[in-house]
Amino acid sequence: MFVAQRDTRDKDVVAFQPPHNLAGRMRRVARRRHLRQDLARIAAAQHLGAELFTYDRTEHGRTRSGNCPRGYFPFALGGGVRDYKMFLPGAARRAPLVWTLHGMNPFTGGCHYDEGCGRYSLHCGRCPQLGSQEESDLSNKIWSRKRDAYFNIGPGGLHLITPSRWLASEAKRSALFNGLPISVIPNGLDVTTFSPRDKNFARELLGIPQDKTRDSLCGGQAG
């Protein structure tokens, strides 16, 4: 297994190490400068209180998948998929991919929850989370790069998994995942610990007033 960060002593798990030679360092510096403007736009949007918005490229480019040792499979690079066009098609040629989604980011132009925007279903652009009115804004560019990456994955190369029916339905709305198989596999839970409880008893146990609503507890107006 080839990972971004190694948290085990298992000899069969190898962590990514960027090239430390002069050429490798210079490529990372150049790529970092090239990405700086886009990253600044995202950082500015986060200060406006927008939902989490993740960029699709890193300073490493195709180095990550290219440095994968023979016989190892790239897994959880960067805490998730980045550099889509350089990573996914090559990884799918090694072996069929099964990808479990934990948010909307893989099929949007950057956001992890679209707050009902719905523009990702056809294409992104004029992104409310970036405060943008441009059709060809950063979200549209990211969405387009993801589209190109998925298009270059051959038939049977990618199967998507979601832990909820809701996320599966949202994923199916996306033009990015058109024709890709999507299955629902709920997260495994110990039902002896995690199970429905009587709401009145739970409120009493946690010291929550019986007549309070979520909005009033969070500082909003009571319903």
Residue scoring higher pLDDT (39 or 102): 102
Least confident of 4-18, 36-50, 111-125, 197-211: 36-50
pTM for this prediction: 0.68
Question: What is the dihedral angle through the alpha carbons of 91, 92, 97, 101, rounded to the nearest 10 degrees?
Answer: 70
Half-sphere exposure (Cβ direction) of 168: Cα atoms closer than 13 Å? 13
Answer positive or negative: Cα dihedral of 118, 120, 126, 130: positive
Answer positive or negative: Cα dihedral of 192, 193, 194, 195: positive
Find the length of the chain.
223
From the list 54, 104, 124, the residue with the least C-alpha distance to 83 is 54
Q: Are 168 and 162 in contact (CB under 8 A)?
A: yes
Residue scoring higher pLDDT (113 or 58): 113
Distance from C-alpha of 106 to C-alpha of 147, rounded to nearest angstrom: 10
Q: With 80 as the cut, is the pLDDT of residue 26 above it?
A: no
Q: Torsions phi, psi of 99, nearest 5?
A: -120, 120
Q: Name residues whose C-beta falls within 8 Å of residue 211's C-beta, 6 or more positions apart in sequence.
A: none
Q: With 50 as the cut, is the pLDDT of residue 157 above it?
A: yes
Amino acid present at 42: I
Q: With 60 as the cut, is the pLDDT of residue 67 above it?
A: no
Banded pLDDT at 184 (limits 50, 70, 90):
very high
